[in-house]
Amino acid sequence: MRDRGGGQRCPGGYFGWNLDALVDCLCGGWGAAPPFRLVWHDSAVARARLGAGYDRRSWAPAVTLDDLLALLATGGVEVELR
């Protein structure tokens, strides 16, 4: 995941490749400083791709867009879906 808008909340604008990395950016003391607003462009594409299922990489249920939105809200991030 990358910050393409220039707001770079994590080193170099890089948010990692998994959910744990995103949590680190939100709560690790060196990432984002909530509250802030995230504008998620093409969110319909993300919703279609982040569907329910099983993630063989993590041996757990797949992360859905709603899961990500809940995590971001818990972290104090306001999300605008576009």
Total-model pTM: 0.71
Q: What is the mean pLDDT of each run of 10 residues along the chain (82 residues)?
A: 47 68 73 81 92 82 91 90 96
Q: What is the pLDDT of residue 52?
A: 87
Q: What is the pLDDT of residue 4?
A: 46
Q: What is the pLDDT of residue 29?
A: 67
Q: What is the pLDDT of residue 6?
A: 47
Distances (CA, A) of 27 to 34, 49, 52, 54, 82: 9, 26, 26, 26, 25
CB 45 within 8 A of CB 27: no
Q: What is the pLDDT of residue 38?
A: 86
